Amino acid sequence: MASLPARVHIQEVVTRDGLQIEPRFLPTPDKIALIDALSQTGVSKIEVTSFVSPKAVPNLADAGEVARAITRRAGVTYVALVPNLRGAQAALEAGMDELNLVLSVSATHNLANMRMTPEQSLEGFRAIVAETKGRALLNGSIATAFGCPFEGTQAPDKVLALAGRYLEIGLDSITLADTTGMANPRQVAGLVRAVRQSFGAVPLTLHFHNTRGMGLANVLAALEEGADRFDASLGGIGGCPFAPGATGNISTEDLVHMLEEMGVATGVDLPRLLELARGLPALLGHDINGQVAKAGRSGDLHPVPAGIEAAS
């Protein structure tokens, strides 16, 4: 195994990517309490919400209220996804540290999701940069970087070219997003290596879904290529719009558990994170996808059965 980074940044997205396709609206005070609790766990970044049209994502209609009401903790970066200039302005007014701009490298997916061509999306990014640069960090996410449910696999050169354009127009950091969980570890290793060779100094986040069970294997492949920032969702909350019953984002607690078991520091309080994950079924009304919340940590030993003497 290649040497792994000594320290990895955990970026929590449960209240944005996790909640956006939940069947029920999570009440605003519950969202605020969840974010405030997550702020205390040691995660590096929290994607608080999305300043999108309430018609498009009713679950996040309270974006401004949530963003203004949370208690900031020093050292945590608070992010909002913004689809356009109006959203960017609202996010800035609500005090967000970072804006996450998203565009699909698959033109078909971008048209279906954003009703814009990729070029039109990039024009919108330019307007946001002009308005907000210096007042917030700007992250550019490349959705469907590892495959599009309509077009299939995306050529790595297209992804690299888009990353280059993000940097040209003034974005500060890049996320490669496996939007519908199509990435495989060999592909991840290749694309992470290529992006780091071309743009090594730029902060790079990997955003994986566990839709086909490969989420943590993809994390391992990315780690071996030096990636050290990962998005994840508490409980593995979130799903796939194309596959009822499929899982969503990789689970934050399962990710932290794997990293800590491998000796990769995260700075995250795993027992506290597990408590929060175990509280999600009561909040959301359904089971979670995360495994460690059910099975316990690898190191949580069990009592020796009666009548058996512990050996060695």
List, by residue number, the catalytic residues: 240
Q: Is 212 in the site for its own copies (CB under 8 A)?
A: yes
Phi-psi region of 74 (alpha: psi -120 to 50; beta: other; left: phi over 0): beta
Provide the minimum distance between the beta carbon of 149 and its own copies in the complex, in angstroms, as a whole number.
5
Residues 14-73 that bind its own copies (CB under 8 A): none
One-letter identity of residue 139: N
C-beta closer to its own copies: residue 282 or 310: 310
Q: CA 301, CA 303: separation in Å to the nearest integer?
A: 7
Whole-number Å distance between alpha carbons of 296 and 300: 6
**Among 26, 46, 88, 189, interactor with its own copies by CB under 8 A:** 189
The verdict on 280 binding its own copies (CB under 8 A) reads: no
Name the residue nearer to its own copies (CB basis): 272 or 278: 278
The CA distances from residue 25 to 18, 62, 71, 78, 101, in Å, are: 12, 10, 22, 22, 24
Q: 101 or 220: whose CB is closer to its own copies?
A: 220
157 binds its own copies (CB under 8 A): no
309 binds its own copies (CB under 8 A): yes
282 binds its own copies (CB under 8 A): no
Q: How far is the CB of 185 from its own copies (least distance, A)?
A: 5
Q: Which of 73, 150, 165, 199 binds its own copies (CB under 8 A)?
A: 150
Alpha helices (H) in 106-184, listed in sequence order: 107-114, 118-132, 156-168
- Binding residues for its own copies, rule CB under 8 A, total 71
Contact status, residue 232 vs residue 252, Cβ threshold 8 Å: yes
Contact flag: residue 197 with its own copies (CB under 8 A): no
Q: Which is nearer to its own copies, 139 or 251 (CB)?
A: 251
Tell me how far apart the alpha carbons of residues 302 and 305 are, in angstroms, rounded to a whole number: 9
- Under a CB-based contact definition with an 8 Å cutoff, are residues 219 and 207 in contact? no
Residue 263 Cβ, how far from its own copies at the closest point, in Å?
A: 7
CA–CA distance, 104 with 112 (Å, rounded to integer):
10
- Tell which positions 215-254 bind its own copies, by CB under 8 A: 215-217, 219-221, 224-225, 240, 242-247, 251, 254
**201 contact partners, CB below 8 Å, separation of at least 6:** none
* Residue window 92-111: x/- pattern of binding to its own copies, with contact defined by CB under 8 A: --------------xxx-xx
Q: How far is the CB of 1 from its own copies (least distance, A)?
A: 4
Q: How far is the CB of 56 from its own copies (least distance, A)?
A: 14
Contact flag: residue 285 with its own copies (CB under 8 A): no
| Choice from 117, 127, 198, 271 touching its own copies (CB under 8 A) | 117
The one among 79, 173, 257, 276 contacting its own copies by CB under 8 A: 257
**Is residue 148 helix, strand or coil?**
strand
How far, in Å, are 98, 104, 306 from residue 85 at the CA level? 14, 18, 65
Q: Does 301 bind its own copies (CB under 8 A)?
A: yes
Among residues 136 and 288, whose Cβ is nearest to its own copies? 288
Report the residue number, 77 or 120, with the smaller CB distance to its own copies. 120
Dig out the tokens for 191 from the structure: 């694309």
Q: How far from 40 is each of 74, 108, 194, 199, 270, CA to CA, in Å?
A: 10, 40, 35, 32, 11
143 is a site residue for its own copies (CB under 8 A): no
CA gyration radius, the chain: 19
